[in-house]
Chain A
Amino acid sequence: MEPLIHETMISTKNILDNQEILANNLANASTVGFKSALRSQIILSNNTDKEQYPHLLSKSYDQTQGPFISTMQPLDIAITNKSGWLVVQTNDKSIAYTRNGHLKINSDQQLTSQEHIIMGQNGPIVIPSDSKTRILSNGIIEVIHNDEDFSQELDKLKLVEININNLTYGNNGLYFLKTANQPDIKEIEDNPNVKLLSGTLEDSNVNLSENMINIMSDARKFDMQMKILTDYDENIQLINKFLNINN
């Protein structure tokens, strides 16, 4: 293929891929515990200064803490560590990670986040029915008896510490370990340094205006690429006409 057309093709493909990331960020602007995705276009240079593709679109995540929203609900928690995660079990029994601390109790009395079962120290956490619970800052879940006179430790939430850039975002709103980077790590151990805030949720850290501006600037870049492509295409048509011996 013509080098110019190839270059333009890769570039427009990257622009559209980036639009997808930005649209997903915007869609999750008010998702609890969501982390904004960033992208950078990287050229793998082979030190010859020519032939600088392929471009590689690398996706990373903005690690800044989202704002805390106070809800006063006993089952709402926010993780205060930048790289702390709750461990959940997906429907197909695989392990995933989330920062969405909007917990609910499902019909089996298990603690869940977005319908996914939250893991405690020994598997799913079952909350006794008709009981008041509270979650302490170190993840211990207590059942309260007799109007806070006496409380009993039920279980401890499994809290782990993983750098977000070692995780990938799945389509179901959960984060999974990038197995390519750490093939030997199957399960990450509980980390006692991860702390919680009870009665609080962590809002998404998406910057709306920044994402909107990036979408607009990408649309302009797309137009510019198309303009170059049209110009070049016109040249090709003319040269093809020249090659015709009859006119």
Chain B
Amino acid sequence: MSLLKIFDIAGSAMVAQSQKMQMHASNLANTDSLINKNGKLYPYIAKKAILKYDNLDDTELGGGVKIKEIINDTTPLKSIYDPQSPISDSNGFAKISNVNVITETISAISASRNYQANLEILNTAKSMIMKTLSMGQ
């Protein structure tokens, strides 16, 4: 039933967008975090989500979407003069995270709106199904 296929497509988009939103929230939360990896401290590297077309069941009518992978943002880290930082070098310069709060906030809003748009599609499909079911009454 093609109306239920809409549920799958919109559902996959909602899962992907809410994961994307979570990633942006995590980036925002960690703007000045340090990562303890094997006993050494590193600045937090921003994460980026790569979305990919997901052909749910090989039809030509289209498929859903999924997060292909989460990659590290390759924007170079900035150095600031902060001799008190636990990761500052011998000259007193410390690397800081490459999270850009503006792009993160806006991407999070955009992901949220995308989620809501897919939810509207779901609502429409749901009311279509409900109308179909009440056809003979």
Contact = CB atoms under 8 A, between A and B. Distances in A.
A120 to B, nearest CB: 34
Interface residues of A, number: 34
Nearest to A236: B18
A62 B28 CA distance: 26
Contact of B112 (A3, A11, A224, A234): A234
Nearest to A64: B84
A42 B41 contact: yes
A49 interface: yes
Interface in A35-78: 38, 40-45, 47, 49-50, 52, 55-56, 60, 62, 64
Please classify the interface of chain B as helix (H, G, I), strand (E, B), loop, or mixed, using the class held by over half of its residues: helix
B18 A224 contact: no
A242 B122 CA distance: 8
Interface in B22-76: 22, 24-26, 28-38, 41, 44, 70
Interface stretch (A92-100, A121-129, A225-233): A225-233
Contact of A60 (B22, B44, B86, B126): B86
Nearest to A47: B37
Interface string A221-247: 100110110011011001100100000
A247 to B, nearest CB: 9
B77 interface: no
A7 interface: yes
